[in-house]
Amino acid sequence: MSKTILIVGASRGIGLGLVREFTSRGWTVVATERSKSDELHGVEGIEIATLDVTDPATFDNVDGSFDAVIINAGITGAKHQDSAQATRDEVADVMMTNAFGPAHLAKVLLPKIAEGGTLAFMSSLMGSIDDSSGGYELYRTSKTALNMLAKGIAEQDAEPRNIEVLALHPGWVQTDMGGPNATLTIDESVSGLADVIEGAGSGGFRYVDYSGKELAF
């Protein structure tokens, strides 16, 4: 019997790549989009639901049980990326989309994840305090917040059912966000990420990249 995965934020880029990768590996895939993606709807044999991580009213649009869940949601935030220029609305937008929305959704989805399953958040190396060189202040801060929330969910909510929680760094990938000069293709990134997901399930929290390398928090 094939395993089932939910991939949130699958309309393009890494999310869409993950849908194709897990489908090719024989998983049953449920994917979500905020608005209709012709590319996503072109993938055969998957179930598609509409969901927005910033709108809790849409969270119940996903039904079923899952061996793994990947919450892939993220925006860069305001173009200036400067804490001195940031408005209340700009901070709220990036933090809700990149950190608090995904965390809220994760808590709603946890009962639908099988015992010993996997909950993964798409994070970034830019969320590492240890690695930080400054700049991109709104984006970096939101991903650091996501890592903190993910670790808390692992220890307080997921641990009793031995669900492993991952904060994933996909690498610098050739997407709309990563740009054409990025060092990894989408296929290279999602192949590694899928390997990490398939090798997970031992409980606890890990912050790792697409190759499975542990990252400094």
CA distances for 70 relative to 14, 78, 82, 103, 108, angstroms: 11, 25, 29, 12, 13
pLDDT digits (tens, 9 = 90+) for 96-154: 999 999 999 999 999 999 999 999 999 999 999 999 999 999 999 999 999 999 999 99
Total structural domains in the chain?
1
> Is position 173 within any domain?
yes
Q: Decide if 215 is inside a domain.
A: no
In a domain, residue 183? The reply is yes
* Residue 42 maps to a domain: yes
The predicted pLDDT at position 44 comes to 96
Long-range contacts, 83-88 (Cβ 8 Å, 24+): 83/137, 83/138, 83/141, 86/137, 86/138
DSSP of 126-137? GG-TTT--S--H
77: which 2 tokens?
């935030």
Whether 169 is covered by a domain: the verdict is yes
Q: Where are the alpha helices (DSSP H) in 110-185?
A: 137-153
Q: What is the pLDDT of residues 55-68, one digit of tens each?
A: 999 999 999 999 99
Lowest mean per-residue pLDDT among 56-60, 117-121, 169-173, 213-217: 169-173
Q: In this structure, how many other beta carbons lie within 10 angstroms of the beta carbon of residue 56? A: 12
The pLDDT value given to residue 17: 97
pLDDT at 26: 97
Q: What pLDDT sits at residue 164?
A: 98
pLDDT at 1 over 90: no
* Tens-digit pLDDT profile for residues 100-115: 999 999 999 999 999 9
In a domain, 214, yes or no: no
Q: Is the pLDDT confidence value at 175 over 90?
A: no
pTM: predicted TM-score of the whole model, two decimal places: 0.96
Burial of residue 87, with CB atoms counted within 10 A of its CB: 0-12 exposed, 13-18 middle, 19 or more buried:
exposed
* Residue 216 located in a structural domain: no
Q: Are β-strands 4-8 and 66-71 bridged in parallel, bridged antiparallel, or unpaired? A: parallel
Q: Is the pLDDT of residue 176 over 80?
A: no
Is residue 158 in some structural domain? yes
What is the 3-state composition of the chain as percent helix, strand, coil, each rounded to the nearest 5? Answer: 40, 20, 40
Per the structure, the complete domain to which residue 140 belongs is given by: 4-209
Instruction: Give dist(CA 4, CA 30) in Å, integer.
Output: 8
User: Which CATH number goes with the domain that contains 79?
Assistant: 3.40.50.720
pLDDT at site 34: 95
Q: Is the pLDDT of residue 181 over 90?
A: no
Q: Are 30 and 51 in contact (CB under 8 A)?
A: no
pLDDT digits (tens, 9 = 90+) for 12-38: 999 999 999 999 999 999 999 999 999
